[in-house]
């Protein structure tokens, strides 16, 4: 059995470092539990939903343009855009969570206003339209330097557990700035954002519902009560770091003896409370072998998570100056796994895989101030979480210029 049934509320933290929790949520503050339906859909059910989704696309195009010729061209543009990302592979499965359908982790769930604005924004690459477009698709916002873990690959290693420089007010102002720009997804990260739970909750409660909010976490303290509270405050989903199918190996990699417990228990609680859940794995050289990947995907399937994100290790943070890049053969294996598990009929019940490097190798970088951005624990803007080159502070008065500079410098890798 995968999951330990210890009482999560009674657990105390333990590990290499134990910064105090910003705020322990009182269970009595949380409303009654409501379990929401959540599943992967495929076959006829998926086809029906996909058909309705396509009709929505046509509706959005018609709303944006007056000329019927643009309707056809707009639809053709969206189809070619999809091909650019997925090739000629047909969509096989979708995740259904709390009334919305998700095709990927970086596409808003269908169907709501954020989804419609996202599509209208993409259409602007075809032709100007009436929508107030999203400036960013996704922004990673690091809200704390605190962390209880000491992960082997940590990209914020040099800043971990240093004195915080950003106040709750700075963070609120940053979220407002991002929403003024127009941002479809804001990913709260760190450090460990669960160590700043009251800040997360207050950000979620105060922000207008113009963005989807996600959290990138180790799973620490993702108890049933806390996940319920996050859901009620407006969180869409969580990326939970899980780097191995074996508890000891994951705990060793994360240098924290309860890391596996929290990742798997946190996933279960998040699913039960109607959040979209992804396991995120750093695919290290030692790990990338066919049987390892399969065992990991079996675990993810059994855990019931909707997505798995494959990340390739980068020489940044704690990995700086280390040779961590995968071999060509390993990348090929990951790409084959990604295609096989997402697009063949044999793996319909497995979580959907997101694999950025697959697209980056073909389409270039989507971050770097273009569709995405990383705001670090000092509030400085960087091309992405793995590419640390500060270009100014998000709250600077001349942020537009700074963003231009960041975009001009581009991504050094893709």
Q: Which residues bind ligand SF4 (CB under 6 A)?
A: 147, 149-151, 154, 156, 160, 190-192, 218
State which residue, 147 or 235, has the beta carbon closest to ligand SF4.
147
| Buried-exposed string 65-81: b where 16+ CB fall within 10 A, e elsewhere | beeeebeeebbebbeee
116: how many CB neighbours lie within 10 A of its CB? 19
Shortest spacing between CB 160 and ligand SF4, in angstroms = 6
| Residue in this structure with the two tokens 């990260």, named with its chain if needed | 189
| Buried-exposed string 332-360: b where 16+ CB fall within 10 A, e elsewhere | ebbeebbbebbbeeebeebbbbbbbbbbb
CA nearest neighbour of 92 among 50, 57, 52: 50
CA dist 190 to 144, 146, 295, 311, 384, Å? Answer: 5, 7, 29, 17, 13
State which residue, 160 or 308, has the beta carbon closest to ligand SF4.
160
Shortest spacing between CB 158 and ligand SF4, in angstroms = 11
State which residue, 123 or 215, has the beta carbon closest to ligand SF4.
215
Antiparallel, parallel or unpaired: β 100-102 and 93-97: antiparallel
Shortest spacing between CB 402 and ligand SF4, in angstroms = 25
Shortest spacing between CB 151 and ligand SF4, in angstroms = 3
State which residue, 322 or 404, has the beta carbon closest to ligand SF4.
322
Tallying the residues shown for the chain, one arrives at 414
- Tokens describing residue 92: 């096989």
Q: In sequence order, which residues have a C-beta less than 8 Å from that of residue 229 and are 6 or more positions away?
A: 25, 29, 30, 197, 201
Shortest spacing between CB 159 and ligand SF4, in angstroms = 9
Shortest spacing between CB 386 and ligand SF4, in angstroms = 12
State which residue, 49 or 188, has the beta carbon closest to ligand SF4.
188
Shortest spacing between CB 116 and ligand SF4, in angstroms = 33
State which residue, 103 or 220, has the beta carbon closest to ligand SF4.
220
**Count of helix runs (H) and strand runs (E) in the chain:** 12, 12
- Tokens describing residue 302: 């059994």
State which residue, 121 or 309, has the beta carbon closest to ligand SF4.
309
Q: Determine the distance from the C-alpha atom of residue 33 to the mean position of all C-alpha atoms in its chain, rounded to a whole number.
A: 25
């Amino acid at each position: 059995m995968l999951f330990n049934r210890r009482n999560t509320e009674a657990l105390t933290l333990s590990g290499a470092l134990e910064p105090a929790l910003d705020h322990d949520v009182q269970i009595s503050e949380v409303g009654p539990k409501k379990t929401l339906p959540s599943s992967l859909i495929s076959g006829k059910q998926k086809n029906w939903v996909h058909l309705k989704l396509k009709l929505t696309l046509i509706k959005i195009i018609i709303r944006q343009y007056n000329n019927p010729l643009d309707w056809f061209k707009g639809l053709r543009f969206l189809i070619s855009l999809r091909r650019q990302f997925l090739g000629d592979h047909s969509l096989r499965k979708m995740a259904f969570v709390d009334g919305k359908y998700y095709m990927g982790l970086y596409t808003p769930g269908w169907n709501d206003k954020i989804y419609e604005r996202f599509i209208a924004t993409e259409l602007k690459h075809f032709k100007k339209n009436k929508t107030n477009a999203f400036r960013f698709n996704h922004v990673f916002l690091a809200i704390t330097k605190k962390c209880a873990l000491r992960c082997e690959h940590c990209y914020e290693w040099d800043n971990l557990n240093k004195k915080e420089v950003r106040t709750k007010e700075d963070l609120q102002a940053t979220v407002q700035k991002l929403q003024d720009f127009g941002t479809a997804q804001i990913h709260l990260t760190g450090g460990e954002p669960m160590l700043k739970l009251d800040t997360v909750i207050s950000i979620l409660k105060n922000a207008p519902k113009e963005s989807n909010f996600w959290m990138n976490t180790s799973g620490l303290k993702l108890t049933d009560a806390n996940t319920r509270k996050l859901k009620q405050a407006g969180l869409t989903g969580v990326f939970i770091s899980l780097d191995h199918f074996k508890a000891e190996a994951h705990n060793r990699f994360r240098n924290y003896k309860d890391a596996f417990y929290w990742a798997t228990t946190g996933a279960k609680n998040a699913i039960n409370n109607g959040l979209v859940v992804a396991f995120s794995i750093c695919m290290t050289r030692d790990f990338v072998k066919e049987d390892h990947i399969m065992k990991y995907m079996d675990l993810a399937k059994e855990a019931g998570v909707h997505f798995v994100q494959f990340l390739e290790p980068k020489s940044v943070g704690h990995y700086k100056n280390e040779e961590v890049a995968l071999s060509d053969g390993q990348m090929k294996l990951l790409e084959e796994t990604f295609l096989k598990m997402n697009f063949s009929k044999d793996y319909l019940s497995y979580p959907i895989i997101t694999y950025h490097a697959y697209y980056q190798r073909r389409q270039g970088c989507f971050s770097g101030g273009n569709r995405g951005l990383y705001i670090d624990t000092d509030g400085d803007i960087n091309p992405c979480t793995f590419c640390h080159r500060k270009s100014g502070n998000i709250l600077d008065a001349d942020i537009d210029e700074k963003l231009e500079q960041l975009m001009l410098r581009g991504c050094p890798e893709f």
